Chain A
Amino acid sequence: MELKNDKERLFLEMIDSYKSVIAKVCCVYASPTAEFDDLYQETIINLWTGFDKFRGEAKISTWIYRAAINTCITWVRRNKKHSSNVALDSELPVIAEDSNKLADYKHLHAIISQLLPLEKAIVTLWLDEKSYDEIADITGLTKNNVAVKLHRIKDKMSKMKDL
């Protein structure tokens, strides 16, 4: 499949560089298979739409995280039939089948899926080792607010593990 012009080539290079970031964020927020595909597609389209306007005011990684998280968090389901707990098998198409850490990831995912949408965003960024400043920049919270929320989220997650 040939790309027609420089913009498409540059855009593809960019999203290929950050594909795991986009995929992981979409995995965190998705439930059935259709939703992961929808979230991923929606994120890519939003990135394309904002690509021309991006002037490097923020780091590219910050911009990508913002786009992915904002797309997922504002994706409000019109049909609430599906459970908010993720059926992890639905993300398998993008998770390597030969991963010997799959069971560990399923456990991690089961914990994250029980968090509130904004908590998912914060914990995803924390898991990707973003600093409090970066988390604050992406989410729009203050640094202190991030620290407080993260502390509460970790406490919540610890209690979930004990159940």
Chain B
Amino acid sequence: MTDLDKLKEDWKNLTIRNDELERRNRELTRRIADERIKNNQQRLAANYRTGFLGLLFPLISMMLYEYNAQSLTLCIIYSAFGLIVGGYHLWFRHYVKSTDYTSLDTVSAVERAAKIVKYQDRATATSVCACVMLLSFMLYEFYDRCGIDVFISGIIGAAVGAVIGLKVYLSNRRNARSMLEELQKINDSNTQHC
């Protein structure tokens, strides 16, 4: 018997604690059926369900225009922000939810997982860029229409938000890149030539 044959034999002779696994299976089945636990995909998709709120931005901006005398330009930018960010979030949520790792072969599953990480990173980047554009215009409006006091308040609020948001954004970005690198390595090991 070769060494590798022995390894195969050791693998076959491995004794699993069937009672422990059957107990786990029963408990997990109950909890899954009751929707008390979710997998990573479901949790990730849930984070983006608020994307539909972005689709309400055009309605909100109409009200701002009508009742708050906001400029038409700001209302258009506000609407665009909501539609772009909300739309992308909802699309991404659908993409994640439609991923079924049980129906994909391993190579396709890794590619899909890498795409999810990439698109999630893009969702964050899109939101940040759109938010910066919107805030810039809003601050200009504050300065132009409401006076210096409101403008300074806006600047302080934006600065505080930026500090908190940037820290979270950079941390998520690092995680996303690290995950993408690991998935890419798996993909690359598949395409190595002999």
A residues with CB within 8 A of B: 1, 3-5, 7-8, 11-12, 15-16, 19-20, 23-24, 40-42, 44-50, 53-54, 63, 66-67, 69-71, 73-78, 80, 93-99, 101, 104-105, 107-108, 111, 116-119, 121, 126-129, 137-141, 148, 152, 154, 157-158, 161
Per the 8 Å Cβ criterion, residues 136-191 of B in contact with A are 175, 178-179, 182-183, 185-186, 189-190
Q: Assuming A76-B183, A116-B185, is B4 touching A158 (CB within 8 A)?
A: yes
B47 interfacial contact with A, CB 8 Å = no
Complex contact B109–A70 (CB within 8 A) = yes
Complex contact B101–A46 (CB within 8 A) = yes
Most A C-beta atoms less than 10 A away, residue of B10, B21, B25, B102? B102
Residues of chain A within 8 A (CB-CB) of B17 are: 93-97
Residue of A whose beta carbon sits closest to that of B114: A74
15 intermolecular pairs with C-beta atoms under 8 Å apart: A24-B11, A24-B14, A45-B42, A49-B100, A66-B104, A95-B14, A95-B16, A96-B16, A96-B17, A108-B11, A116-B186, A126-B8, A127-B11, A141-B107, A152-B194
Per the 8 Å Cβ criterion, residues 1-36 of B in contact with A are 3-4, 6-8, 10-18, 20-22, 24-30, 32-33
Majority secondary structure, A binding face: helix
Complex contact A3–B30 (CB within 8 A) = yes
Residues of chain B within 8 A (CB-CB) of A63 are: 102
B68 interfacial contact with A, CB 8 Å = no
Q: Assuming A78-B179, A127-B7, is B14 touching A49 (CB within 8 A)?
A: no
Checking A54, A67, A101 against B14 with a beta-carbon cut-off of 8 angstroms, the contacting residue is: A101
Checking A44, A129, A157 against B29 with a beta-carbon cut-off of 8 angstroms, the contacting residue is: A44
Most B C-beta atoms less than 10 A away, residue of A47, A76, A99, A141? A76
